Chains A and B, each alone.
Chain A
Amino acid sequence: MEKTLQVLNGMERAGVIQRYAIGGAVGAIFYMEPVLTYNLDVFVELPTAGSGLLSLSQVYEYLRTQGYPEERECINIEGVPVQFLPTFNPLIKEAVAEARSTTFEQTPTRVLRPEHLVAIMLQTGRSRDRERLASFIAEVPLNETYLAGVLERHSLTAKWQQWRGMQ
């Protein structure tokens, strides 16, 4: 995965993406025990296009020229299927902006904060997100004040209270 992260860092340097952070299952694994996944979900802040619309076409085009093939919803970068997800709403935008810097072996990278991972799982709300959320909050210490702020800013407080009530 280190080579994959080096390619992502190169994309930032080349200006193809402004900023990226790891989310999804691999983001969760940073904080909790490993769970099975085959994709690396990467949230990306894209350079502003003239139309103002978010488009991954430049990302796909850049990686194609580097020899990385598309595979369904992912691009295979150094053997790791990467799914690029643009910052399509204010919660994701904030999550990427406030992502935690870390290193993988010797390569710098970023991972979403655990409180943003919780908020995104809650907002997305698929059955697998709900399952992962239950394990995640049982295992990962959260900054409750920071989490409350995130939930409040993105109108998720009621959903969180409802979800907690069901646990």
Chain B
Amino acid sequence: MNPELEKILAEKQARRQWLASLPFPEKIRTLVRLQAMAAPIQRAKGRTVHVWPLEAPRGG
């Protein structure tokens, strides 16, 4: 495999592992950000979607 491509794939895998290791509430906050980014596309396709309320992290 091309070393450059190998490096990119390794970095993507490392990022996935890092995201998977985050605490559950932090993952849900990431999900809500994903929902907000994808909502205009979903609505343009005629889907009714609700972006969840974003709760502030405890103590932060």
Q: Which residues of A contact B (CB under 8 A)?
A: 1-3, 26, 29-38, 71-72, 76, 78-81, 102, 104-106, 139-140
User: Which of B17, B28, B34, B53 has its CB near the most chain A CB atoms (within 10 A)?
Assistant: B28
Q: How many of chain B's residues touch chain A, expressed as a range? A: 20 to 34
**Is B24 a contact of A102 with CB atoms below 8 Å?**
yes
**Is A38 a contact of B49 with CB atoms below 8 Å?**
yes
Contacts of A26 in B (CB 8 A): 28, 31
Q: Which residues of B contact A (CB under 8 A)?
A: 16-17, 19-20, 24-25, 27-28, 30-31, 34-35, 38, 42, 48-53, 55, 58
Contacts of A102 in B (CB 8 A): 24
Contacts of B25 in A (CB 8 A): 1-2, 104-105
The 10 closest A-B pairs by CB, nearest first: A33-B19, A79-B53, A34-B30, A34-B31, A38-B49, A33-B20, A34-B27, A33-B16, A32-B20, A36-B34
**Is B50 a contact of A81 with CB atoms below 8 Å?**
yes
Listed by A's residue number, 7 A-B pairs whose Cβ atoms lie within 8 Å are: A3-B55, A26-B28, A29-B28, A34-B31, A36-B38, A104-B24, A139-B17
Contacts of B53 in A (CB 8 A): 78-80
Cα A80 to Cα B27 with chains together (Å):
15
Known contacts A36-B34, A36-B35, A106-B58: A79-B24 contact under CB 8 Å: no
Which partner residue on chain A sits nearest B53 by CB separation?
A79
Contacts of A81 in B (CB 8 A): 50
Contacts of A3 in B (CB 8 A): 55
User: Which of B31, B49, B51 has its CB near the most chain A CB atoms (within 10 A)?
Assistant: B31
**Is B58 a contact of A105 with CB atoms below 8 Å?**
yes
**Is B55 a contact of A38 with CB atoms below 8 Å?**
no
Cα A72 to Cα B34 with chains together (Å):
22
Contacts of B31 in A (CB 8 A): 26, 29, 34-37
